[in-house]
Chain A
Amino acid sequence: MTEDVGVSRGRLVLRRFRRRRIALFGLVAIVFLVLFAFLGPSLSKWNYSQKDYNAFLQPPSAQHWFGTTQIGADVYAQTLRGLQKSLVIGFLTAIISTGLAAIVGAAAGYYGGWTDRVLMWFVDLLLVLPSFLIIAILSPTFQGKTWLLFVVLLAGFSWMITARIVRGLTLSLKEREFVRAAEFMGVSSRTILFRHLLPNMSSILIIDATINVGGAILAETGLSYFGFGVQPPDVSLGTLIADGTKSALTYPWLFVFCGGLLILTVLAVSLVGDGLRDAVDPNSESSRL
């Protein structure tokens, strides 16, 4: 079969992605969540730090849409505040960790030899140490410091598997003839890395970054749940859920909204990632239909 000339790869991917209704749903959900997190607070008259001393532990009402907490804080404002933080941390962590993975993996794969062995040994080491434990141990050191430090730690312990995948791809790509052609023409190895190797895995990297967003949010909320992550006065979905859990049975509004938004966020992100993977992978069954 001759290839259909004229349809660019980008358009093809877009077309395949659009056909996956469930992935589209994920995309719409993400857009909604981001808009909701950042524009939602201005719809309510309550600020996340304000307290309504006339309403302690009130169920959702016209006044307080998601109800109030034990100390009279507005759950709607707090939940959106937490959603903001979790989204920002998730996206930042995913971008940093995927970037790190791309550079380490590609360097290990392309240069080979000792570079490869040292980097991969380091990857193995970090895989033996569950990142959760390490970040928990280190949590006292960033208490009272900026949450960005937490992001760096999260990213620093979540790039290893992606790096391995990138390394594998690099190993096969560097044997490809167009890379060898560039080498024989005297193109420098750094140029080859950034001009030929990384762009040719960009689709995989984008997919991985997307999936890593979900992983990062889960890791963040998990650590925050135990108090090892986002520290007061900052709030995230994790800290909110931790606060709400104790009264999940009696005062469900403290728990349902932040929990529900967390599930929706992670689900939406992974559905988009999965849809992208199917759309990019020309071998996947659905892409041929």
Chain B
Amino acid sequence: MVKFMARRFLNYLILVIVATSLGYLLAAVSLNPRSNFEGRNPAPPKSSVDAKLDALNLNDETPVLTRFKTWAGGVVHGDFGKSIDNQPVSSEMWRRMGVSLRLLLVGSVLGGFFGIALGTISAIKQYSAVDYGATLGSFVLLAIPVFLLAVLLKVAALNINKWAGTPIFYYTGEFTPGLQGSWWDHTWDRFQHFILPTLSLVLGQIAFYGLYQRNAMLDVLGSDFIRTAQAKGLRRRTAIIRHGLRLALIPMATFFAYEFGLLLTGATFTEKIFGWHGMGEWFIDSVTKNDVNAVATVTMFAAVLVLVAGMMADLAVAILDPRVRSS
């Protein structure tokens, strides 16, 4: 079991290294930081541009593999290079990582929990109004991309604020800058900022997990072992919850690993639209600014997160399913 996980980890680690390298190489080839310096007026001499680019390890005249070696050498020691504004990438990364992680953690935990609950209820009450409502609602939610949902939520919040006559929801940033008050005021302020971005992420997650959980549950409901559980004297509902739910959760763990990549993408929109200074926002800005080192760093962050999600899914499957544990 431990050996199994260790081997999985090693496999993921190799994938992360390859993925990060690929991210760097693609960014280095595709982005053009030279244009950032050349485009100035008056046009600076080539030598000074080259010097600036060399200092940042961004000179496209240096062979890309040499640049990669320099960057990768730094990464091993925790140095992710300089951003295009000549700031250390790592300090920016540490600052922003927490913001993204908060969002992602809450997004997956709440999304997973409510999604699974919703899907289970839907499946047990198949063909009821609850089921139809939940299923159709989930389809509608899944059809709304995060950037659209975010705007709709903003519009709704604005109207509610207007109706209430006092700001209930905030939709810019994580907190009100310069707010004076007690600990409680700060917490409440953060919560007011927190709710809309979280909703923009969580609603889609609930819909996704809800639909899959419903399907997984329906697959299990017809199983022979549910019938056995009833035959030995359990109520149908008890049999379903006790014997069916756990089995239906096994495929969900795998979906979690897949879905996490999409959640990451969604968080990018959320951060950008609600003005949260997280990794996603940084990524978008960095691509626009041709900031190769920062882009590669975010790619690595994403790959590591997908790795962690994958490991957690593997672990969850192993815990839920004794058949996997023993093999």
A and B touch in the complex (CB under 8 A): yes
Binding site for B on A (CB under 8 A): 22, 121, 124-125, 127-134, 136-141, 161, 214, 218, 221-222, 225-228, 241-242, 245, 248-249, 255, 259, 262-267, 270-271, 274, 283-285
Instruction: Check B302 against A133 for contact (C-beta < 8 Å).
Output: yes
Please list the 4 inter-chain residue pairs (A to B) with the smallest Cβ-Cβ separation, ordered nearest first: A267-B143, A266-B143, A132-B265, A130-B261
**Further contacts, 20 of them, CB under 8 A, given A138-B30, A227-B288, A228-B287:** A22-B136, A121-B15, A125-B15, A125-B19, A128-B15, A128-B303, A130-B264, A130-B265, A131-B261, A132-B264, A133-B265, A133-B298, A139-B30, A214-B142, A225-B145, A242-B147, A248-B151, A262-B148, A263-B144, A266-B142
> Which of A128, A131, A161 has most B Cβ within 10 Å?
A128
A164 nearest CB neighbor, chain B only: B258
Binding site for A on B (CB under 8 A): 11-12, 15-16, 18-19, 22-23, 26-27, 29-32, 126, 136, 139-140, 142-148, 151-152, 154-155, 158, 218, 222, 258, 261-262, 264-265, 268-269, 272, 283-284, 287-288, 290, 295, 298-299, 302-303, 306-307, 310
Instruction: Check B306 against A127 for contact (C-beta < 8 Å).
Output: yes
Taken together as a complex, chains A and B put the C-alpha atoms of A125 and B264 apart, in Å, by 16
Consensus secondary structure, chain B interface: helix
Instruction: Check B303 against A263 for contact (C-beta < 8 Å).
Output: no
Instruction: Check A274 against B151 for contact (C-beta < 8 Å).
Output: no
Q: List 18 A-B contacts (CB under 8 A).
A: A22-B136, A130-B262, A132-B264, A136-B287, A139-B287, A140-B31, A141-B30, A161-B258, A222-B146, A222-B147, A222-B265, A228-B287, A241-B148, A248-B155, A259-B151, A264-B143, A270-B139, A283-B222
Instruction: Check B284 against A136 for contact (C-beta < 8 Å).
Output: yes
Contacts of B152 in A (CB 8 A): 259
Instruction: Check A129 against B284 for contact (C-beta < 8 Å).
Output: no
Instruction: Check A221 against B145 for contact (C-beta < 8 Å).
Output: yes
Instruction: Check B30 against A132 for contact (C-beta < 8 Å).
Output: no
Q: Shortest beta-carbon distance, B112 to chain A, in Å?
A: 19
Contacts of B146 in A (CB 8 A): 222
Contacts of B158 in A (CB 8 A): 249
Q: Shortest beta-carbon distance, B214 to chain A, in Å?
A: 11
CB-CB under 8 A for A222 and B299, given A128-B16, A274-B139: no
Instruction: Check B307 against A137 for contact (C-beta < 8 Å).
Output: no
Taken together as a complex, chains A and B put the C-alpha atoms of A141 and B139 apart, in Å, by 35
Q: Shortest beta-carbon distance, B106 to chain A, in Å?
A: 19
Contacts of A241 in B (CB 8 A): 147-148
> Which of A127, A264, A274 has most B Cβ within 10 Å?
A127
Q: Shortest beta-carbon distance, B78 to chain A, in Å?
A: 21
A140 nearest CB neighbor, chain B only: B30
Taken together as a complex, chains A and B put the C-alpha atoms of A255 and B140 apart, in Å, by 18
Taken together as a complex, chains A and B put the C-alpha atoms of A127 and B288 apart, in Å, by 24
Taken together as a complex, chains A and B put the C-alpha atoms of A226 and B145 apart, in Å, by 13
Taken together as a complex, chains A and B put the C-alpha atoms of A267 and B145 apart, in Å, by 11
Contacts of A270 in B (CB 8 A): 139, 142-143
Contacts of A284 in B (CB 8 A): 218
Taken together as a complex, chains A and B put the C-alpha atoms of A274 and B207 apart, in Å, by 14
Instruction: Check A137 against B303 for contact (C-beta < 8 Å).
Output: no
Q: Shortest beta-carbon distance, A155 to chain B, in Å?
A: 17
Taken together as a complex, chains A and B put the C-alpha atoms of A249 and B158 apart, in Å, by 9
B158 nearest CB neighbor, chain A only: A249
Instruction: Check B269 against A222 for contact (C-beta < 8 Å).
Output: yes
B255 nearest CB neighbor, chain A only: A161
Taken together as a complex, chains A and B put the C-alpha atoms of A127 and B310 apart, in Å, by 10
Instruction: Check A129 against B140 for contact (C-beta < 8 Å).
Output: no
Instruction: Check A137 against B306 for contact (C-beta < 8 Å).
Output: no
Q: Shortest beta-carbon distance, A276 to chain B, in Å?
A: 14
Instruction: Check A140 against B22 for contact (C-beta < 8 Å).
Output: no
Instruction: Check A140 against B32 for contact (C-beta < 8 Å).
Output: yes
Q: Shortest beta-carbon distance, B87 to chain A, in Å?
A: 21
Taken together as a complex, chains A and B put the C-alpha atoms of A225 and B128 apart, in Å, by 38
> Which of A134, A139, A228, A255 has most B Cβ within 10 Å?
A134
CB-CB under 8 A for A133 and B306, given A125-B18, A222-B145: no
Contacts of B30 in A (CB 8 A): 137-141
Contacts of A255 in B (CB 8 A): 151
Contacts of B306 in A (CB 8 A): 127-128, 130
Taken together as a complex, chains A and B put the C-alpha atoms of A96 and B211 apart, in Å, by 26
Instruction: Check B284 against A218 for contact (C-beta < 8 Å).
Output: no
Instruction: Check B140 against A267 for contact (C-beta < 8 Å).
Output: yes
Q: Shortest beta-carbon distance, B188 to chain A, in Å?
A: 25
